[in-house]
């Protein structure tokens, strides 16, 4: 059954499940990881997946890689933030004097300055600076000579610098930010790939445990039937219908069945311990032997034609679009291409147009002029200027060197991407072929179990009628048990290969950008539509 999971980006995991996958959707419902699994009798596959995503430390470490890269992206956006600068200055002059006349005073002169400005650099490269400033001065010499005077100035200004060649649209700071955003997408894809691998491991160990439990049931039933056969053999020996030596054959079979039973129990314990490790349940449950889990049944078998090229190509197309490692390489390739664009831009000469406009108003005397007076045209002075600025380095060694590096890096990502696509085609074709093969083998194994069951039943009837031998019955009983075990193992392989097929197609697990919500493919049902 498919599950979707969600947890908070900041405050830790919390899961929301839904039957959602690449081509099948259904409603969402809440589910929390097991609080007291030791008391549980039903442990679904979706519970194991939820516990893995909730408790596995490695999943948390992988998500922190995304958070770290998000911080890098945020850091690269810093040059485009708004900046506010302000300053206030006060100057005091003792025994002020007028230089032009040489007149001195025994009093203090004062000068106050205030300035505030807002700066902004846009991503296309435009630099904007706007603000206001106030200057007020008082000189006691002004009372003695005409050349010195008290006064104040209030002003507003706006300055715009627009690059026309270098730094236009794709300046270094801009392309670094774009590249880090694409690297963030690559990190997300890599994280999704790693988490998908953890989920695949959980699914495989879950089906291994399910197979072990079923084999335990088969062995217990076989031991029970062998013990029953032993009692029947003793009855036949008492009636002198078979020799006493035949009892040894039954004892040997019974010993063999008990050994197989113990081996199946050990396999179940191993699978349980592996699940404990992946799901994090080992922190709360330390003795897997005492837990009697009821697990999901194996997926229903759905046959597909062996070598059906239409289905294979459909799955390959899905894989090419969704495999995380392919998406990661595409993102890294895009990051590299933008850095190349930035390096090409850095080779251009700098040609900037600078425009500035300012308005100020002067007030003579001790009174300070207000900023509002600047808005009055008949009182304020307006200045405007335009400047064209050009510069060009003669060597460009740094930009040319970076360009060569990134050109090689882009080519490397292209080669890796081509190899990854080829690998996806091979892996998906292999998993699809294996699916068709296993489905056919399961079908034949079911027939074998059916026929062997009939053979054992018929042969026991013949033995009781004196028309068969104990050796033949034991042989058929052994065949039946082996065929049942083989059927279970094939069913487990089919179930694990189904999850592997979704993994190879890149749709086993999907996530929201901040990894607070997951969708897991329905690994208990094969869908090819």
497 touches 438 (CB < 8 A) = yes
Segments in 239-308 forming alpha helices (H): 246-279
Interstrand relation of 151-163 and 517-520 (parallel, antiparallel or unpaired): unpaired
* pLDDT, tens only, 439-485: 999 999 999 999 999 998 998 888 778 787 777 888 888 899 999 99
3-state secondary structure of 354: strand
- DSSP state for residue 289 in the 8-state scheme: G
258 touches 223 (CB < 8 A) = yes
Residue 273 confidence (pLDDT): 86
Residue 14 has φ and ψ, to the nearest 5°, of: -160, 130
| CA pair distance 71, 509, nearest whole angstrom | 25
Residue 114's contacts (CB-CB under 8 Å, 6 or more residues apart) are 86, 87, 88, 89, 133, 134, 135
Q: Where are the domains of the chain?
A: 45-75+176-336+406-528, 84-121+126-166+350-391
Element housing 83 (H / E): strand 82-93
229 touches 473 (CB < 8 A) = yes
Residue found by looking up tokens 């060649």 in the block: 165
| CA pair distance 35, 131, nearest whole angstrom | 61
Fold classification of 45-75+176-336+406-528 is Outer membrane efflux proteins (OEP) (1.20.1600)
336 touches 409 (CB < 8 A) = yes
Residue found by looking up tokens 């759905």 in the block: 302
341: number of CA atoms within 13 Å, CB side? 18
Residue 466 confidence (pLDDT): 76
- For the chain, list residues with pLDDT below 50: 1-33, 35-36, 38-39, 147-148, 290, 366, 368-369
Residue 494's contacts (CB-CB under 8 Å, 6 or more residues apart) are 298, 299, 301, 435, 438, 439, 442
Residue 142 confidence (pLDDT): 62
Residue 144 confidence (pLDDT): 54
Q: Which residues of 279-296 are buried (b: 16+ CB within 10 A; e: fewer)?
A: bbbeeebeebeebebebb
Q: For the whole model, what pTM was predicted?
A: 0.81
Rg (the chain; Cα; Å): 40
C-alpha distances (whole Å) from 293 to each of 45, 262, 296 are 11, 18, 10
DSSP track, 399-452 = HHHHHHHHHHHHHHHHHHHHHHHHHHHHHHHHHHHHHHHHHHHHHHHHHHHHHH
C-alpha closest to that of 515 among 59, 186, 108: 59
């Amino acid at each position: 059954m498919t599950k979707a999971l969600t947890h908070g980006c900041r405050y830790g995991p919390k899961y929301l499940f839904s039957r959602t996958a690449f081509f099948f959707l259904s409603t969402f419902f809440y589910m929390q990881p097991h609080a007291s699994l030791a008391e549980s009798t039903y442990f679904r596959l979706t519970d194991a997946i939820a516990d893995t995503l909730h408790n596995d430390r490695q999943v948390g470490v992988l998500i922190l890689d995304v958070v770290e890269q998000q911080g890098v992206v945020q850091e690269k956006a810093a040059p485009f933030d708004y900046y506010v600068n302000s300053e206030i200055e006060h100057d005091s002059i003792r025994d002020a004097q007028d230089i032009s006349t040489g007149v001195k005073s025994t009093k203090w002169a004062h000068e106050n300055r205030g300035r505030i400005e807002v700066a902004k650099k846009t991503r296309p490269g435009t630099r904007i600076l706007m603000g206001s400033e106030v200057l007020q001065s008082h000189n006691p010499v002004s009372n003695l000579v005409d050349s010195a005077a008290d006064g104040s100035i209030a002003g507003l200004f706006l300055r715009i610098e627009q690059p026309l060649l270098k730094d236009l649209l794709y300046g270094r700071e801009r392309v670094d930010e774009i590249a880090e955003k694409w690297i963030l997408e690559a990190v997300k894809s890599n994280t999704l790939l790693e988490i998908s691998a953890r989920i695949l491991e959980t699914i495989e160990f879950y089906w291994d445990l399910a197979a072990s439990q079923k084999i335990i049931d088969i062995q217990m039933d076989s031991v029970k039937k062998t013990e029953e056969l032993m009692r029947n053999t003793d009855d036949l020996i008492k009636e002198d219908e078979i020799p006493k030596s035949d009892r040894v054959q039954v004892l040997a079979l019974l010993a063999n069945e008990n050994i197989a039973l113990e081996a199946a129990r050990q396999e179940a314990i191993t699978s349980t311990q592996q699940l404990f490790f992946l799901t994090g349940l080992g922190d709360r449950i330390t003795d897997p032997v005492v837990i009697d889990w009821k697990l999901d049944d194996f997926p229903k078998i759905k046959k597909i034609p062996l070598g059906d090229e239409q289905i294979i190509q459909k799955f390959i197309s899905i894989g090419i679009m969704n495999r995380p490692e392919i998406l990661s390489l595409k993102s890294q390739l895009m990051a590299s291409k933008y850095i190349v664009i930035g390096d090409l831009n850095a080779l251009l000469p700098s040609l900037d147009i600078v425009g500035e406009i300012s308005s100020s108003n002067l007030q003579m005397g001790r009174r300070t002029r207000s900023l509002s007076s600047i808005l009055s045209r008949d009182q304020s002075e307006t200045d405007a200027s335009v400047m064209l600025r050009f510069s060009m380095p003669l060597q460009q060694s740094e930009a040319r060197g970076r360009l060569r590096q990134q050109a090689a890096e882009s080519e490397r990502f292209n080669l890796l991407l081509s190899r990854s696509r080829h690998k996806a085609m091979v892996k998906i074709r292999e998993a699809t072929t294996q699916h068709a093969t296993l489905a056919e083998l399961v079908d034949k194994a079911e027939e074998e179990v059916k026929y062997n069951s009939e053979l054992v039943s018929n042969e026991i009837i013949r033995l009781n009628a004196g028309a068969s031998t104990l050796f033949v019955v034991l042989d058929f009983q052994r065949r039946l048990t082996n065929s049942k075990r083989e059927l279970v193992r094939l069913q487990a392989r089919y179930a694990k290969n189904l999850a592997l097929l979704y993994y190879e197609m890149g749709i086993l697990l999907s996530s929201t950008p901040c990894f607070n919500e997951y969708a897991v493919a329905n690994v208990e049902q094969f869908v090819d539509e």
